[in-house]
Structure 1
Amino acid sequence: MKERPTRDPFSALRAALSGEPIPGRSNPGVWVDPQRELRTGIPEVVLAEGKTDHQLETTVAVLLEQRGRVVVSRLDGDRCARLRAAFPEAGMRTTTDGRTAVFYRPGTEPRVTGGKVGILTAGAADLPAAEEAQLIAEELGCSVRLISDVGVAGLHRLVPALRELAEEWDADVLIVAAGMDGVLPSVVAGLVDVPVIGLPTPVGYGFGGAGVAALHSMLQTCAPGLVVVNIDNGIGAGAAAAKVANRCAAQRVSKHSDARSST
């Protein structure tokens, strides 16, 4: 495991207040923040929606130059293809549906932290959000295991999945993605002793569709230990899970080092 970088969350603020040059670069309507990862542990994620093609390509170019890797969310097939053509030297990794992608320069692999994030989905339709969470957690150095389609309509399917992730693999945190009635995260939170992050997805019929019923159900949970992100926010779920998992991993390393030094 590589040494964790030293972070000063107030360096950019002090620079701005004192009139010093601020890291970053302006482009039309956008100002990138390449130091965000040093402050928060999470790099800037570029939201493609609402940006012009010029703004998007310029932003990706700046972050590739300064960081070597950049995550772009809410892409469609055409814009993903245009970015691929604009940066032929860069590697690219995408989720299955292509809505989230990582562009990277060769030789800029994520720092491996030892954090372990488990992801469950209630149905196969929840996979787009779950894969987005997986991608961002892996970008933040975590190992991720994803098990799909274990919702409450067939509750017996949940037993081997939880046994694998929470007992045998000993995940640091679980993300549970669910649409429809959104019950699965509450069920999981009532069974395991690790933090659970509910990820409501826009899957459902009629009243409460588009993820609203799932969000309300998760917010009204009676199972302590469940926290919830916004509808379809795989980026937020993956980032939060990675922060938890990476803290757990750092504690394991610290305890191991203390045990070795005391012998």
Structure 2
Amino acid sequence: MSTTIVGGGNMGEALLAGLASTEVTVVEQSADRASYLRSRYDVEIAELGPAVAKADTVFAVVKPYHFAALLDALAEHARPGQLIVSAVGGTPTDSIEARLPGTPAVVRTMPNLPVSVGAGTVAISGGRHATPEDLDRVRTMLAPLGRVVEVAESQLDAVTALSGGGPAYFALLAEAMIDAGVLAGLPRPLAEELVLTTAAGTGRMLGEPHADPAALRAAVCSPGGTTITAIQQLEGRALRAAVMAAVVAARDRSVEMGR
């Protein structure tokens, strides 16, 4: 199966690194970026028209503000029988289908940045003309990037807010913890090492089957100890409410962008 990736940025590179395909072509406008991808992955870099015309599957991995122009270009070069996979946030499958000729098979995806290290989460949702076989093909292609889950398209805005933005939320918490370590008297390099290794180890524990975040937190909180005292401070400052409000706000923004 031949695949064309349109967009060679961070997410496009992650897809390129993990896609299980016999033939991959990349469309990338930046000469420097194209040169980097060609040298690192020995991949063909081509113009949009020829690359799309020969592909069985086209992955659109561009910024949302470039997507409308890309769809206009795809309408000129796409052919019947192709599978169009969007990794662009905020544009529903019916809008994509309306911009393309015929009855295109469209699958919308929401990957998060950890796909770049094979530990991501990708939510997928099929459009009106996407068959179960199309979804199976996308699931198989994306499996090397991490966990692939199928969701209703109406849930993708919430997925975008939760797992799409999730790495930024965890990174922000890590930043705050590093600064807290410095405030408590640790050298910054040591605080960074402690926080990042703790984050990595906790992530592995939470990735185990049947992991329970509440049980893990409780296991660390000894009665009257230091950790439960810290948790009291966080709860007193409405950490949970702030996180929930942030995710809902991100979901609402995703909905707004799709209008």
Return the TM-score normalized by structure 1: 0.30
- Please state which structure has a larger fraction of its residues in helix: 2
What is the TM-score of this pair, normalised by structure 2? 0.30
Q: Which has the larger radius of gyration?
A: 2
